[in-house]
Amino acid sequence: MVPLLNEENTIFSYINDLINELNQIDQTINPNILLLDDASDDDTLRNLHILQNSLHHLRTKVYILERHFPNAQQGKGASLNFGLDFISKLPTTLDKQHTIIGIIDADGFISAKDINDIIGTFENNQVSMVQSAVAMNRRDYNWLSKMQDTEFLGANSFMQESRNRLGQAIASGNGQFLTLQMAQDVRWGNSLLEDFEFTVRGLFKQHRAIFLPSAIVYQEAVTSLRPLLRQRIRWCEGSMQCFVKYTKKIIQSKVINPGVKIDLSLFLILPFFSMLLNIANICSIIVQLDNIFTRKSIPVLIVFGIVVCATLLVWLMMAIEYHQNTQGLSLFTCILRAWQCILYNFILSFIPYAAFAFLLMGRNSWAKTSHGT
């Protein structure tokens, strides 16, 4: 399923490439692609039909679904549920455990080899969902694209592989693959962080997810600061929504193991904790600067040096993960990029304040990130 909203700039490139990859997957797999237009007001729908007419006699079946107001543009989750209802009615000889739904964004690309590997992961593991890694398709476009590539293939992959050891990965929007059985049991909610919400709802019904780091979905980086901040505010507000809706249920659940409970709870608490941490850090810096200039500076500088070294060491671990997951970059380059992520994360560290303000004001509209601009 590919949810689409005003994607006229990406249709002919990304969708055509994705269909070409689907045509090359293992012959034992019957590929279909469902293109979900969510009442676009540009030429997305017209371009979809042009694309469909040019793809006759190909192996992959192409379906186009149109959503209309007043039901359209109510968030990605609502669009995916609309597509799920269509899939559930398709004639098939396969059972719900052997019908796999992949969620790829309009700017996403995944190779036939990685799709085959994902299907193999379902065959070799008792799981209902497989989450791929995510990378940027033009990682060297500018500084922000480099940081996002390092963030996703470094820090995010490190955390997801750690979650594998706990027994439960988290869906990460682009590149999530799940059984039709899980999709029907769980369905998507209306949170601004619909992928995390879907994971939690699945856990309550004992659906397990695994992260596959070797399979990668490539997507567009957000190359300007303002749209990046909008995207991350949406994600952060979605996390806060999930905190309100699910934290108590997660803690009280009898089907979620303690390690996963701790991980999910920390994930949901993090935006609120970071708000307090920023204030504490600013106050600490002011006090320590005063200590340096008015009192004995050596102890303060020693403590400051220890903190800096510890921070660099943590991001050195992320750099090693990034180097293992990427190609064409030396370990030295990966380390430099990882250490630059300290500044990148500092810039993003003030996002929770805006997200919390939006949450209090009830501003929870799903403003999507533009692609191909």
pLDDT tens string 321-338: 999 999 999 999 999 999
Q: What are phi and psi of 249, to 5 degrees?
A: -65, -40
For 18-43, write each residue's pLDDT tens digit. 989 999 999 999 999 999 999 888 88
Kind of pairing between the strands at 32-37 and 2-4: parallel
Token pair belonging to 123 = 């065959």
The better pLDDT of the pair 276, 365 is held by 276
Q: Which pLDDT score, from 0 to 100, does residue 283 have?
A: 84
- Starting from the edge strand earliest in sequence, which strands make up the sheet with 176-179, in order? 100-103, 176-179, 129-136, 209-219
The answer, yes or no, to whether residue 191 has pLDDT greater than 70, is yes
Rounded to whole angstroms, the Cα distance separating 63 from 282 reads: 53
**How far are the Cα atoms of 211, 255, 273 from residue 197, in angstroms, in the given order?**
17, 17, 20
The answer, yes or no, to whether residue 213 has pLDDT greater than 60, is yes
The answer, yes or no, to whether residue 224 has pLDDT greater than 70, is yes
DSSP 8-state symbol, 257 = -
Q: What are phi and psi of 264, to 5 degrees?
A: -65, -40
**How far are the Cα atoms of 280, 292, 293, 294, 311 from residue 287, in angstroms, in the given order?**
11, 9, 10, 10, 20
Rounded to whole angstroms, the Cα distance separating 187 from 78 reads: 9
In 3-state terms, what secondary structure has residue 69? coil
Q: Which pLDDT score, from 0 to 100, does residue 68 have?
A: 87
The answer, yes or no, to whether residue 200 has pLDDT greater than 70, is yes
DSSP string, 27-52: TTS--EEEEEE---SSSHHHHHHHHH
Rounded to whole angstroms, the Cα distance separating 225 from 297 reads: 37
Rounded to whole angstroms, the Cα distance separating 268 from 315 reads: 22
For 129-146, write each residue's pLDDT tens digit. 999 999 999 999 999 999
195 within 8 A of 171, measured Cβ to Cβ: yes
DSSP string, 206-225: T--EEEEEEEEEEE----SH
Q: Which pLDDT score, from 0 to 100, does residue 219 have?
A: 94
What are the helix (H) ranges across the chain?
16-22, 44-53, 76-88, 112-124, 143-150, 157-166, 180-186, 194-204, 225-252, 258-294, 298-325, 331-348, 351-361
Task: Give percent of the chain with pLDDT exceeding 70.
Answer: 96
The better pLDDT of the pair 212, 290 is held by 212
For 89-130, write each residue's pLDDT tens digit. 988 888 898 999 999 998 899 999 999 999 999 999 999 999
**How far are the Cα atoms of 222, 238, 278, 344 from residue 225, in angstroms, in the given order?**
8, 20, 20, 11
98 within 8 A of 25, measured Cβ to Cβ: no
168 Cβ contact list (under 8 Å, min separation 6): 199, 203, 208, 209, 256, 257, 260, 263
